[in-house]
Amino acid sequence: MDMTTLTHFLGWCTLINIVIFLISTVMITLFKGLAMGLHKRLFNVDESFLTQSYFNYLARYKLLIIVFNLVPYSVLRLAL
């Protein structure tokens, strides 16, 4: 695998992960009541814990996208 192929691969990975992140954010924002009701019944937890869990999920996922997709892609784009 050469540098160009790796750059294209990381670019597509970044794009796919950002789309998944945006869809997750929209779903949690627009359908918060539905998601919260489902998760409260499944895991028997209160709403404050779920709100914090949703925020933690989005924050960690965004950080992972930046560290493992966006930064390597940017470095390879600058190197080529």
User: For the chain, what are the domain ranges?
Assistant: 3-79
**Weakly modelled stretches of the chain, pLDDT under 50:** none
pTM, entire model: 0.90
* Cα gap 10→32, rounded to integer Å: 31
Residues 27-46 have pLDDT tens digits of: 999 999 999 999 999 999 99
Burial (Cβ within 10 Å: 0-12, 13-18, ≥19) of residue 4: exposed
* Cα gap 28→51, rounded to integer Å: 10
Q: How many CA atoms lie within 13 A of 22 on its CB side?
A: 6
